[in-house]
């Protein structure tokens, strides 16, 4: 029975995703180890290190079905690592040629390279989901570029913005994350092959040729030197996932706030029964946003584990390396699940422009007090204009009228502006600054 909900056939529908679980599944990891062993045999056969007919036999035998799970579990329990059991099963399946498996390699070479193959597939999955969300948010930003709403600071009305600008603000870091992903891939998608202590001494003068050949065979890059105890690449990958989850948390937090009954400007896509309560039939809880936040918190807790595991002793670590396997698969699975929830929101969010306008008008025009102050400043001076508008705002708040009506009672204002000019000055849609240019700049990135 799964202990982690992300691995559960039931709760796993909320945490993580099936595609990510398939990549980081234990069985898939063992298959990658076999793939590395087979690739190593092919390279060494070409270089004349092992007999040429050994490579086809080892490659044909390198199937996870040839491993006995019970035998492998017993080996891991005794040895502490799975590679001894993997090599034993592979060697047996390859028959007489099995004696040439794992030639010159060490346990960590196989495990690390197998992990890198998983990470490569995981990053491709993350990248595809990021692109889908970017596409959806770009469409929303353009569609709602003129949908005026209240901008809020400290959870209170501040100045008018547009919902398109809000979408562009959600969108901007996701575009940056795709750039980060492209930049980090060369630093993490590296073959690991260094032998017992990172010198490849067991292969004599052919060590570098085998390392490069293994990298080419697996479609990876070859590092300048083995990275057994230089774990920055994997730590960077999980740190990147933490950044992605942080940006998704911003989107989810805003959606949760916007869908409150008292605000009701944006809601998650409605599916009958989704987000319902067992006792309150009216409820439509923001489930996707809630699970984005939950997954993000879990990923953020795993980032320090990966970064802490970088403190590895001498040429092979005594514990930090093993800790990585507790964090890395979970971080990828949870991040992809959070992205899937975010994609659902981005593609299907329900926007209510009429409600946005009603909320915008709740304060009777006070949201454009800055606009009025800046409009009056050339006539009165900035300090006097601030004082006059503040007095009008206090009057409106006390009497319950509009800012326009309160301004009409200020002699300093009416001596210079008529009602039409004041009405134009208090129109929220007229005080949006560089909103359209900002949206265009984000979409053009």
pLDDT in tens, 187-227: 999 999 999 999 999 999 999 999 999 999 999 999 999 99
Which residues of the chain are in CATH 1.20.200.10 domains? 106-357
Active site residue 277: yes
Q: Which of 199, 198, 223, 222 shows the shortest CA–CA distance to 212? A: 222
Model confidence over 305-338: pLDDT tens digits?
Answer: 999 999 999 998 888 889 999 999 999 999 999 9
**Residue 417 half-sphere exposure, CB side, CA atoms within 13 Å?**
23
CB contact at 8 A, 430 and 370:
no
pLDDT in the model for residue 316: 87
Positive or negative torsion for Cα 187, 188, 191, 197: positive
Output the six-digit token pair for 12: 């796993």
Residue among 46, 63, 284, 316 flagged as catalytic: 316
- Please state whether beta strands 156-162 and 148-153 pair in parallel, antiparallel, or not at all (unpaired): antiparallel
Q: Decide if pLDDT at 278 tops 60.
A: no
| 152, 166, 327, 421 from 77: Cα distances, Å | 56, 53, 20, 81
Maximum alpha-carbon separation in the chain: 103
φ, ψ at 354 (rounded to 5°): -65, -40
Under CATH, to which class is 366-425 assigned? mainly alpha
Residue among 202, 277, 297, 441 flagged as catalytic: 277
* Cα 61 to Cα 86: distance, rounded to the nearest angstrom: 11
pLDDT in the model for residue 417: 74
Residue 426 pLDDT grade (very low, low, confident, very high; cuts 50, 70, 90): confident
Under CATH, to which class is 106-357 assigned? mainly alpha
Exposed/middle/buried for residue 378 (C-beta within 10 Å: 0-12, 13-18, 19+): exposed
Residue 378 pLDDT grade (very low, low, confident, very high; cuts 50, 70, 90): confident
Residue 9 pLDDT grade (very low, low, confident, very high; cuts 50, 70, 90): confident
């Amino acid at each position: 029975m799964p202990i982690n909900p992300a691995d559960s056939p039931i709760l796993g529908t909320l945490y993580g995703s099936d595609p990510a679980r398939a990549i980081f599944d234990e069985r898939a990891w063992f298959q990658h180890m076999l793939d590395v062993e087979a690739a190593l045999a092919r390279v060494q056969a070409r270089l004349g290190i092992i007999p040429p007919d050994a490579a086809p036999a080892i490659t044909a035998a390198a199937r996870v079905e040839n491993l006995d799970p019970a035998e492998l579990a017993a080996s891991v329990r005794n040895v502490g690592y799975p590679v001894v059991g993997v090599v034993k099963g592979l060697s047996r399946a390859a028959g007489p040629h099995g004696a040439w498996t794992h030639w010159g390699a060490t346990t960590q070479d196989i495990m690390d390279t197998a992990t890198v193959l998983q990470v490569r597939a995981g990053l491709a999955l993350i990248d595809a989901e990021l692109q889908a969300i970017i596409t959806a948010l770009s469409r929303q930003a353009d569609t709602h570029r003129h949908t005026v709403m209240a901008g809020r600071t400290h959870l209170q009305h501040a100045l008018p913005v547009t919902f398109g600008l809000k979408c562009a603000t959600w969108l901007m870091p996701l575009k940056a994350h795709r750039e980060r992903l492209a930049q980090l891939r060369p630093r993490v998608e590296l073959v690991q092959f260094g032998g017992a202590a990172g010198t490849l001494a067991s292969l004599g003068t052919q060590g570098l040729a085998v390392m490069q050949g293994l990298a080419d065979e697996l479609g990876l890059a070859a590092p300048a030197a083995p990275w057994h105890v230089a774990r920055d690449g994997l730590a960077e990958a999980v740190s990147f996932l933490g950044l992605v989850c942080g940006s998704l948390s911003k989107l989810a937090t805003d959606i949760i706030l916007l869908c409150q009954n008292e605000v009701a400007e944006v809601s998650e896509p409605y599916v009958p029964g989704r987000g319902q309560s067992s006792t309150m039939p009216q409820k439509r809880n923001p489930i996707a946003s809630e699970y984005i936040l939950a997954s993000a918190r879990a990923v953020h807790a795993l980032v320090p584990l990966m970064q802490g595991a970088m403190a590895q002793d001498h040429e092979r670590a005594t514990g930090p390396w093993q800790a990585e396997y507790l964090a890395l698969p979970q971080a990828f699975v949870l991040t992809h699940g959070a992205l899937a929830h975010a994609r659902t929101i981005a593609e299907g969010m329900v926007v209510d422009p009429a409600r946005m306008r009603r909320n915008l008008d709740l304060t009777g025009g006070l949201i454009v007090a800055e606009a009025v102050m800046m409009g009056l400043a050339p006539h009165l001076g900035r300090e006097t204009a601030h004082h006059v508008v503040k007095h009008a705002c206090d009057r409106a708040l006390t009497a319950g009228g509009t800012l326009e009506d309160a301004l009409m009672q200020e002699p300093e204002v009416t001596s210079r502006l008529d009602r039409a000019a004041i009405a134009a000055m208090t129109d929220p849609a007229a005080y949006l600054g560089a909103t359209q240019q900002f949206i265009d700049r984000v979409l053009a990135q």
